[in-house]
Amino acid sequence: MFCFYHTFLSPVSGRLILFPLRYKIFTRKMAVTRQLFQLQELDTEIEQKELALAQKQSQLGNRQVLDTAQKQLDAEHKRLDELRHQHREAEAEVTDLLTKIADIEGQLYGGKITSPKELTSLQHELSIMKARSDELEDTTLEIIDRVEETESIVAAATDDLKKLEEDWQHQQQQLSDDIKKLQGNLEDLRKKRQELTSQIDTETVNLYEKIRKQKKQAVAKVEQGICRACRISLSASVLQRARSGQPTQCGTCGRILYIS
């Protein structure tokens, strides 16, 4: 029978080796499904990196954490201002009351007022004012406590915000670095993809793209006569075709079968 042979010189024995051309064709076709499998792996890696890139890009410049912390600090500042205002008002009222009390006491013990009725009335007024003064002093002390407590909260929140800002700046720098690295990776991967697809015929690449669009995974490994993607046994004829290296689709799920 007439048969074409490829010849090459064995680097080990130095002898001329012959092998049939049919074998050469077989290995070339096997390579197509292997290339498609590699293409799928590349596409999966590209997708993962694109997703990671998009996530990192969405975090870049996102000041939400800082804005929330700043809002909380602003609210505490506002509370502190209100408390200080209340403190000043209570103190002013106490000063005013003490002046009035001194005035009434002056009248009571000055000896100018002698009418018992008037004196009783002044005594009554004095006792009301003293009670109010005591009450105000308690209130003032409570306000002072709350002012001090809020000052501590503001100081801690200010420190926290400063630390958060520093962490955020650091994280942003890290994000920028990661983004640059991912963009570089993606550029390399896309170049590899370009090189790989240029080695596969357009029709097969189009078939791969079409299945990938529909099913995400276009190439399925075959193990023990079963399509790994849909887990259905393959017919003998499909298996034979797949083994020959021709792009063969699974009869059930339609994916291109790859026998490693």
Would you count residue 226 as binding Zn ion (CB under 5 A)?
no
List the one residue out of 211, 204, 195 whose CA is nearest residue 255. 211
Would you count residue 158 as binding Zn ion (CB under 5 A)?
no
Residue 194 makes CB contacts below 8 A (sequence gap 6+) with: none
Q: Given the rule CB under 5 A, which of 23-31, 66-74, 148-156, 250-258 is the region that contacts Zn ion?
A: 250-258
Q: Given the rule CB under 5 A, which of 24-32, 108-116, 193-201, 229-237 is the region that contacts Zn ion?
A: 229-237
Out of 227, 238, 256, 259, the residue judged to bind Zn ion by CB under 5 A: 227
Provide the minimum distance between the beta carbon of 197 and Zn ion in the complex, in angstroms, as a whole number: 23
User: How far apart are the C-alpha atoms of 256 and 207, rounded to whole Å?
Assistant: 9
Provide the minimum distance between the beta carbon of 214 and Zn ion in the complex, in angstroms, as a whole number: 13
Structure tokens at 190: 């896309």
Provide the minimum distance between the beta carbon of 220 and Zn ion in the complex, in angstroms, as a whole number: 5
**Cα-Cα-Cα-Cα dihedral sign, residues 93, 95, 96, 98:** positive
Residue 153 sits at φ, ψ, to 5 deg, of -60, -45
Token pair 């993809």 is at which residue? 193
Nearer CB in complex with Zn ion: 79/241? 241
Nearer CB in complex with Zn ion: 86/252? 252
Would you count residue 253 as binding Zn ion (CB under 5 A)?
yes
Out of 72, 107, 246, 252, the residue judged to bind Zn ion by CB under 5 A: 252
Provide the minimum distance between the beta carbon of 250 and Zn ion in the complex, in angstroms, as a whole number: 3
Nearer CB in complex with Zn ion: 250/259? 250
# residues contacting Zn ion (CB under 5 A): 6
Would you count residue 229 as binding Zn ion (CB under 5 A)?
yes
Q: Decide: helix, strand or coil at residue 20.
A: strand
Token pair 């991967």 is at which residue? 189
Within the chain, where are the H helices?
21-59, 64-109, 116-198, 202-215, 236-243
List the one residue out of 47, 237, 212 whose CA is nearest residue 220. 212
Provide the minimum distance between the beta carbon of 65 and Zn ion in the complex, in angstroms, as a whole number: 46
Nearer CB in complex with Zn ion: 219/250? 250
Would you count residue 250 as binding Zn ion (CB under 5 A)?
yes
User: How far apart are the C-alpha atoms of 159 and 86, rounded to whole Å?
Assistant: 26
Would you count residue 230 as binding Zn ion (CB under 5 A)?
yes
Provide the minimum distance between the beta carbon of 232 and Zn ion in the complex, in angstroms, as a whole number: 6
Q: Are strands 219-223 and 226-227 parallel, antiparallel or unpaired?
A: antiparallel
